[in-house]
Amino acid sequence: MTNDRSVARLRLTPLLATAVLMQVTAIVLYAVNLAQPPFGPAWGWLPGIVLMGVTAVACWQTAGTPGLDRVAVRLWRSIAICAALVGLGTIGDARQSLVDPERVNQQQHDLPTSICYAIAVVIVIWALLRLPLGGNRSTTTRFVLDAITIGVTVSVFGWYFTVRAMNAGDGQRTTVPMMMLAVLGLIVALALVKVAMTGMGGLEPGTLRWFAAAAVLGTVGGGLVPLVVHMPPGVSAAQVFSPATMLCVALAADRHRRAAALPPRPARRRLFSVVPYAAVAATDALLLWVSGDSGHVVLVVAVAATALTALVAVRQVGALRENGRLLHRVDEQLTQLNDYQQELTHRATHDGLTGLANRALFEQSAQEMLARDEPLCLAMVDLDDFKTINDRLGHAVGDAFLAAIADRFRTQLRDGDLAARLGGDEFGLLLPGLTSADAAAVLSRLNEAMARPLRAGGHELLARGSIGVIEAWPGATAAELLRRADVAMYAAKDRGKGRFAIYDDTLERTHEADQQLGADLRQALADERFTLAYQPIVLLPGGEWIGLETLVRWPDARIGPDTFIPIAERTGLIVPLGSWILRTALAQLAAWNTEFGAVAPHHLGVNVSARQLREPGFAEEVGDALVEFGVRPNQLVVEVTETAVFDGGVALDTLVALKALGVRVALDDFGTGHSSLGLLRTVPADSLKVDKSFVAGIGGASEEAVIASAMIQITEGLHLRAVAEGVETAAQADTLYELGYRFAQGYHFSRPLPPAEVRSHLLQRQLARSSSARN
């Protein structure tokens, strides 16, 4: 609405102010000269000459408006030339009024003046005729019919007034006006029809209305007024109406120049054209006027015909308005239907939560970009630890977090890049025009942006993503790009959180091997072909067994836990595998408790992965298993790595819940994680298992000995039990004992044993205890 009002409001520029002033001056001079000419007749032409020059300048300026289409530029330049020619013709009329005032009254011009007027008329008619009608046959038909209607109406009026003037003995002064009337009538027809069909030729409706006003003034002043008004010598209606016509043209030029700087307004639907009705009304008025001089009978018939015509017109207009209302309702329904269709299309191709593209649109866009045979990189982004946010803070916060991540993608990516949510916490990025090296720089900035805290659901959260990148190659498909980017993404996740990896053939080979091993792992788990071994934890210095650590073994001895456990983590199989290990180990401990009583292991350690700790209900699962097998909670030791609980969250909450059950907690491989000392204040640990890397070089005054010594002091101060892992020699065992360690495990004491060998050892201890009791 603001833009429409700013266009409609008239602003007097210096050019328009000059034009208005000249028009007022022309009216004053004409009125004075019509009563009793106190000035020379040439003075009456001067305001029009100035105003036509102003109009020519205004039209030429409008033609130079930035952004104007070619048709409009051509039209305004033609009108500017026309105004200049009319100005030259007016100068000729002014000169004629000084030489022969009577010829001015008879609308007779000298040859140069007639040439200027004739060329001007030809130019303006040609310019209007060149305005495009839109290429629609029905539009062209309406234009031609309306033009003929106006032409016939104007011709009837011209013929009547000409005959009337000739009957009055004044035919000589009517020839030229009649010719002018016919020509200007055609201009009126064109202008009014253009107004009825607003928006044609790129002209704004207000501009067209000013054109119509100019045509009407030119027709009335140039054709009709000289036929009905007698003027003194040297005075002409053109002294008023020609400047008025040009003033309207100047206003049209100004209007179009201001409208061109604003967004285009939609064309308003017109129910009907006013041109035929105006023509019929004018002809009926002429008929009534003429009938008044022909007797009462003719007048009555004329009045009846006019009344019937008016009734038919009113009825037709009413029907057209009703049709218009129906069309309006149809338009509204079609608009709503189109909006619904667009909404459904958007829903079918976009993610409802984040507003990003979905997988279908992503794959389609990737295929289209590949078809252009231009550089393209595809990236897969998997949010690290998103499940923790969902589990700790709820799905509402998780959804808000995903929406915030999507917004961050939008702000960081370039124009032309495409981000999509492929499912869950997995996103895809299309980066056209980039090689893998270029994409690495873009994704580094994206990772930095993601690392900045973001607010979601009232919480300040950190986002990290593992990103895999693949550069397109000739003949690539969207599906293959996605697969390879997925391979690179998992490689990035293996290297740590918040990293990205670029696909290469090495990753492919590793991925294929992992896939095969993963399939074998899944089958082995289904067939229950895994076995458990138990490595003793001993009391220093004597080496008596006080507990066992449970270790899982692959059916093929050549494949160790260091190989298949990471694959189980990546594929999610660690959850069912860990559950099987827990239940099998507790069942075995329960059997030993039943068979050996006090000689049975005091505690049994079971390794638990970070993925298991983040599983909802894991603590309840442990509690149920303890009850099922009748094992005391303090006999079970849950061994977790520092990395598993470094971020806190759900994993730490699970450990707290296990402690509440009475289960013991051990930090495994202590000293190799992110922030070991900080964890001792937050993790409810009972013991620390010092990593074997610190034990291997513990002899003498090595750095390992210093670290091992510091660790035993820390654990004693915190009232924790320290267990040295990987003890290989007697010297290492002796040194550890001297440093203060009282618990250890390693091949020096025993390799991991199958259940049968553990049972044999326990049986020997039981027999030895029984023998000692008898003695």
Range of the domain at 474: 359-503
How many DSSP H helices and E strands does the chain contain?
30, 15
* Beta bridge partners of residue 383, listed in sequence order: 465
Picking from 268, 292, 311, the residue at the C-terminal end of a domain is 268
Tell whether 42 and 147 lie within a shared domain.
yes
Residues of the chain with pLDDT under 70: 1-11, 34-42, 100-109, 128-129, 131-144, 146-147, 150-151, 154, 157-159, 161-206, 208, 212, 215-216, 218-235, 237, 261-275, 646-649, 671-679, 699-704, 773-775
Residues 219 and 330 in one domain: no
Question: Counting beta carbons within 10 angstroms of the beta carbon of residue 348, is it exposed (0 to 12), middle (13 to 18) or buried (19 or more)?
Answer: exposed
Tokens of 128: 């209007």
8 A C-beta contact, residue 697 and residue 731? no
Tell whether 403 and 540 lie within a shared domain: no
Q: What backbone torsions phi and psi does residue 727 show, to the nearest 5 degrees? A: -75, 120
Q: What token pair was written down for 158?
A: 């011209």
The answer to whether position 514 is within a domain reads: no
One domain, residues 364 and 292: no
Q: Which of 91, 97, 113, 86 is nearest to 232 (CA)?
A: 97
Q: What is the pLDDT of residue 111?
A: 79
User: Looking at residue 306, what is its pLDDT?
Assistant: 83
Beta bridge partners of 324: none
Q: Are residues 180 and 309 in the same domain?
A: no
- What pTM did the predictor assign? 0.52
| Structural domain ending residue among the three candidates 209, 233, 268 | 268
614 domain residue, yes or no: yes
554 secondary structure, DSSP code? -
Asked if residue 15 lies in contact with residue 251, where contact means CB atoms within 8 angstroms, the answer is no
The answer to whether residue 439 sits within a structural domain is yes
pLDDT at residue number 760: 93
What pLDDT is stored for residue 262 in this prediction? 67
Q: Which helix (H) or strand (E) holds 288?
A: helix 274-291
Contact 637, 668 (CB under 8 A): no
How many whole angstroms from its chain centre is CA 256?
Answer: 34
158 and 198 belong to one structural domain: yes
Phi-psi label, residue 615: left if phi above 0, alpha if psi -120 to 50, beta otherwise: beta
- For residues 373 and 482, membership in a common domain is answered with yes
Residue 208 falls inside a structural domain = yes
Give Cα 143 distance to the centre of its chain.
Answer: 43
Q: Within a domain: residue 708?
A: yes
H-type helices in 416-556, by residue range?
Answer: 436-451, 478-495, 505-526
pLDDT confidence of residue 671: 65
Task: Report the candidate in 434, 508, 510, 509 with the shortest Cα–Cα distance to residue 472.
Answer: 434
Which H or E element spans position 615?
none
- Nearest-angstrom CA–CA distance, 367 and 8: 50
Note whether 470 and 592 are same-domain residues.
no
How far apart CA 221 and CA 227 sit, in angstroms, is: 10
Q: Which of 238, 268, 298 is the last residue of a domain?
A: 268
> How confident is the model at residue 695, as a pLDDT?
81
- Which amino acid is located at 331 in the chain? D
Output the DSSP codes for 7-67.
HHS----HHHHHHHHHHHHHHHHHHHHHH---S-GGGGGHHHHHHHHHHHHHHHHHHT-TT
Residues 390 and 378 in one domain: yes
| pLDDT value for 172 | 47
- CATH number for 654: 3.20.20.450
Q: Which two tokens stand for residue 320?
A: 């057209």
605's enclosing H/E stretch is strand 603-607
Q: What's 439's domain CATH number?
A: 3.30.70.270
Q: Is residue 621 part of a domain?
A: yes
d(CA 488, CA 182): 82
Q: Is residue 769 part of a domain?
A: no
Q: How far is CA 555 from the centre of its chain?
A: 53
Length of the chain: 775
Going by C-alpha positions, the residue among 482, 486, 484, 442 that lies closest to residue 362 is 482
- The CA-based angle 272-275-279, given to 5 degrees, is 135
Let me know: does 401 contact 457? Beta carbons within 8 Å. Answer: yes
CA separation, residue 747 to residues 536, 554, 687, 725, 726 (Å) = 9, 20, 21, 10, 7
What angle in degrees, to the nearest 10, is found between the helix axes of 46-63 and 238-260?
Answer: 20
In a shared domain, residues 556 and 699: yes
Within a domain: 768: no
Tokens matching residue 614: 């983040």
pLDDT of res. 30: 74
Report DSSP state, residue 202. Answer: G
Indicate whether 340 and 374 sit together in one domain. no
**750 vs 98, 385, 727, CA distance in Å?**
134, 38, 10
557 and 704 assigned to the same domain: yes
Q: How many domains does the chain contain in total?
A: 4
